Amino acid sequence: MSQVKGLCVLDVDGTLILEEVIDLLGREAGHEAEISQITSRAMRGELVFESSLRKRVSLLEGLPILVFDNVFNSIHLSLNVPEFISILQKNGILVGLVPGGFTPIVGEISKIPWYCLFHCQPA
């Protein structure tokens, strides 16, 4: 991309990819149903996001870093994402990813040739 004409920033969980990464991590930790329920309620605005995130993350305690490979291999891009990003980039639009966290997953996604940058919130 020779000249940047704009910026398109995409959410990752449930937007760029079909899944919520924290739910997939919950599956690996044996708490999929509980974490998924909390996630759904938080996304509907029924729970305070910060406290619900802390609760979900606490259920992941002790999970080895190696599970991120399993999680990355089980995610699915949303429909037409590669085509959408290709069109943006052909038109000089820089693409960025802003997830809720989990840098290992977004780091892997950002290695796909059509991504340029990403930002994860510090813990």
State the catalytic residues: 11, 13
CA distance linking residue 43 with residue 13, whole number of Å: 11
3-state secondary structure of 23: helix
Q: CA-CA distances (angstroms) from residue 55 to 34, 91, 119?
A: 10, 42, 23
